[in-house]
């Protein structure tokens, strides 16, 4: 899948639409999710254009991958979640219901998060 430069996170990176930023460095931008699923719900995205984790791990440099994942840990610490605990999640593709085609890691925290996956009904 080709990267769509008009996806919503590309627009946030270009400053075309606002975001509630919690961290920015050379490799990553972190901002609050617009529709939070937990008391703390922050998204961390790489600065460069990757569709998903699959694209990122296939094509990003080692330096970029290291910088990105260090930023994820740093953001969680800065949000005060390292002690109480948190969950990270990244959706790739249709079965995972990925909505925005720019790689992002969700950080959830601020309360006990329950079982890992919602079980299908029936
Ligand atoms: P995913 O299903 O993993 O692609 O998740 C996309 C996430 O992006 C959802 O949790 C949305 O609530 C969130 N989202 C969509 N638009 C925005 C926006 N403009 N600012 C912040 N978060 C957004």
Residue 100 CA: nearest ligand 1 atom is 4
Ligand 1 centroid to 90 CA: how many Å? Answer: 12
Mean pLDDT over all residues of the chain? 96
Give burial (CB, 10 Å; 0-12/13-18/19+) of 76. buried
DSSP per-residue letters across 8-63: HHHHHHTTSS---EEEE-SSEEEEE-SS-SSSEEEEEEESS--SSHHHHHHHS-HH
pTM (2 d.p.): 0.96
Cα–Cα distance measured from residue 43 to residue 45, given in angstroms and rounded to the nearest whole number? 6
Residue 119 has pLDDT above 80, yes or no: no
Contact 33, 79 (CB under 8 A): no
**15 CA from centroid of ligand 1 (Å):** 16
CA distances from 114 to 34, 38, 86, 92, 118 (A): 22, 11, 11, 22, 9
Task: Map out the domains of the chain as residue ranges.
Answer: 8-101
Residue 120 pLDDT exceeds 80: no
Residues in the ligand 1 pocket, defined by CB under 6 Å: 8, 19, 33-35, 43, 91, 97-100
Q: What is the pLDDT of residue 121?
A: 74
Report the pLDDT averaged over residues 28-37: 98
Fold of 8-101: HIT family, subunit A (3.30.428)
Return the best residue to mutate from 10, 35, 53 for the ligand 1 pocket (most ligand atoms within 8 A of CB).
35
pLDDT for position 3: 98
Q: For residue 17, is pLDDT > 70?
A: yes
User: What local confidence, expressed as pLDDT, does residue 36 receive?
Assistant: 98
Among 73, 24, 62, CA closest to 46 = 24
Catalytic residues: 104
The residue ranking higher by pLDDT, 39 or 119, is 39
Specify the pLDDT at position 122.
64
Is 24 in contact with 115 (CB distance < 8 Å)? no
List pLDDT tens digits, range 60-109: 999 999 999 999 999 999 999 999 999 999 999 999 999 999 999 999 99
């Amino acid at each position: 899948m080709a990267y769509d430069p008009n996806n919503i996170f590309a627009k946030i990176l270009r400053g075309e639409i606002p975001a509630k930023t919690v961290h920015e460095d050379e490799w990553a931008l972190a901002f609050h999710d617009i529709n939070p699923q937990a008391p703390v719900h922050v998204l961390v995205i790489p600065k460069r254009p990757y569709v998903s984790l699959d694209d990122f791990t296939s094509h990003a440099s080692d330096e970029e991958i290291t910088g990105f994942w260090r930023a994820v840990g740093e953001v969680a610490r800065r949000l005060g979640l390292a002690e109480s605990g948190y969950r990270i999640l990244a959706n790739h593709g249709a079965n995972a219901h990925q909505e925005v085609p720019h790689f992002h890691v969700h950080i959830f925290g601020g309360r006990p998060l329950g079982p890992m996956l919602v079980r299908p009904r029936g």
